[in-house]
Structure 1
Amino acid sequence: MTLCYSYTPNYFSIEDILVTQERIPSKFLVNIPKLGKLNPSAEENDIKQGTTLDLPLWLADPLSFERHPLISIELPRIYKEAYREILKADATAVDLHKLGLYFYELGLYVKRLDPRGEVERVLLHTFRSRFRQLMDFTDSVVCDPIKQNRLDMLERLLYQMGHFGRMQLNSWLNNSEMRLEAASMVVNHKKRKRIDVDDLF
């Protein structure tokens, strides 16, 4: 079982494709002819300057970072200050699955929209805080679906891998007929230390 998630844009990664489907608040800086159908509430054939739409990341990203950007994009709601404060207060109490299936991966894409680096810091803080809890979950004999439902996809994969490894270790410890003994090098080292201490007195 390998960790197959990508943390950089990867054309062949299914996870990366799903992450870039997430919608980003975008504001058009110029008039765009013939694309009025992108706005379901508009009756015109063109998108007018100042129109605000939620566009998928794979479309919004290239349109906003060109030499002459057509749109400006902003942080998704789940990375804004109100949610960052909640995560800083107690990240373990937050249901990340409700905030987004790919909370960490999407955060790595949109962190450049935050010049102060707050998004990057809150991603790291959230992962560190929740990883301790995740390790406690993996020690459980029963794979609890309620706990899994509160995790984003990366955490869910880590949980499943950790639980699988724990079950394999338990099985080996219970079924192994070999007795665990200290290596001879360790035993000799302990004897040598004991002799050295006796020589001092």
Structure 2
Amino acid sequence: LKTGAQTFLMPPKWIPEPLVWQNYPDAFSAVPFQKYFWNTLRIVLGATLGTLLTGSMAAFAFARLRFPGRNVLFGLVLSTIMLPGIVTLIPTFIVFRYLHWINTFLPLTVPFWLGGGAFNIFLFRQFFMTIPYELDEAARIDGASNLRIYWNIIMPLSKPVLATIAIFSFIHHWNDFFLPLIYLQDANKWTMAIGLQGFKDL
């Protein structure tokens, strides 16, 4: 609500005179925040949904199914947490460029439909292991498949961990600045994080 000159007054003037309401429409006309908002929302919802669905499926397999090498495979998944994202950035960028995904939202959403990240799989698995295994056995006696056990028994009992991971994922993707900056070259596809940085530089 201050003029440019009032912003830098020393000592600061806490109640500006006059109140400059025109700053708000000027800000929204200078930068297309509405477009950036919808771009960000598309990315956030797509990535969060993928994380919840595929991350919980992977965790269900590690927590409730018995197969050879299960613990070794889970250990390999966990070991990827120790790998910094910057290490895989260039190979990942080359793959996405080969797929012609650069300057699209696909690099920011599709990878999260492939497990949702090791930390989320770990969190899901630890919660699933607290659910009594007798529920699975009772369902199998009634003829339920693994998919039905996952969808009708495990998922309804997992609302706390689903909500936790949904919040973590939403905040992470909403605040993400680096990956959209790398993959989105068209200003019309920028996210709120990039748009705010651009607005700050005006």
TM-score, normalising length: structure 2: 0.26
From the two aligned structures, give the one with the greater strand fraction.
Answer: 1
Who wins on radius of gyration, i.e. which is larger? 1
Larger RCO (alpha carbons 8 Å, 6+ apart): 2
Q: TM-score, normalised by structure 1?
A: 0.26
Greater helix proportion:
2
